[in-house]
Amino acid sequence: MTSPPSIESRAAVAPLAALAARYDDRRPDRWAPVPEQLDAAIAHDIELAEAGRVARAPLVAELARRFEFPAHYLDAILLVPRERFVLPEDLAAAADDTPLPLDRAGHATVSAPHAYLLTYSLLGLVPGDRVLELGTGTGYGAALARRILGPTGHVTSIEIDPALHARAARLLGTRPDGRDGEAFASSGAEPSDQGASVTLLCGDGRSLAERVLACGRALPSERPWKVAVTYALTEPPAALEERLADGGALVAPVGAWEGHQELMRVERRQGALLREVHGAVRYVAERGRG
């Protein structure tokens, strides 16, 4: 159970909530695609970026108390501007450790910050790794991974929703076709020399991931892929597991969306697949497969 926010936490979040009001009435429909001009305005809002960092400081302290995450993972939470990746109407809640919706039906969310770090810690992400993410959303998880992996790492992320894919591309500073693009210039944007390169793909997550992993196994000089699935699968992804190279790992929530889900970790070690279960979780359902 999460403890109620302290007086210090409430004080830290108050400036973010006040500045978020600037964007409350910019759109008649909160579920419509976010215009590029509005994303640019948020990215260039220096006061908002600073308020977001201040508001995330108590969150980082709370995560440090609850978990044993590496220091550079916690630094990523502090430095990556989550407020840029949520809907503009949810800016005031951007520093909360809760998932925030991205569509009316609840098919997509920006997951709670601790959920990304839990997955990355189970994968054992270190600088220079290669991460394959299924479920980009607006790109917050990829932004955290980019920061954690550093300039020698690489993130490939797949999103099935074309509108979310397009928004993630501009927020992460890549073109929708996956090539490097120009990010919004702001105090909240990460310089390219601080983070890993990012490739974004649009389509069915498992189908594209199988192709990426198959190509990766043909390049033994590369580090093995570490796979992060950000939505619930009804069964373990056998095809993806079989394509893991030695030293590669996969973490995914497994279970029916309406029922019990568990966070599963699979690693290939000396040719064998080793499976572990790491507790109950709650994620949105996979899309694109019956």
What are the catalytic residues? 111
Q: What is the DSSP string of 265-290?
A: EEEEETTEEEEEEEEEE--PBP-S--
Angstrom CA distances, 64 to 47, 111, 194, stand at 26, 18, 23
**What's the farthest any 2 CA atoms get from each other in the chain?**
56
Q: Which residues contact 205 (CB under 8 A, 6 or more apart)?
A: 134, 135, 158, 159, 160, 229, 231, 286, 288
Cα 117 to chain centroid, rounded? 9
DSSP state of 193: G
d(CA 148, CA 63): 16
Q: Which residues contact 106 (CB under 8 A, 6 or more apart)?
A: 284
Which parts of 124-248 fold into alpha helices (H)?
A: 140-149, 162-172, 205-217, 238-242
Copy the structure tokens of residue 272: 């064998």
d(CA 21, CA 89): 8
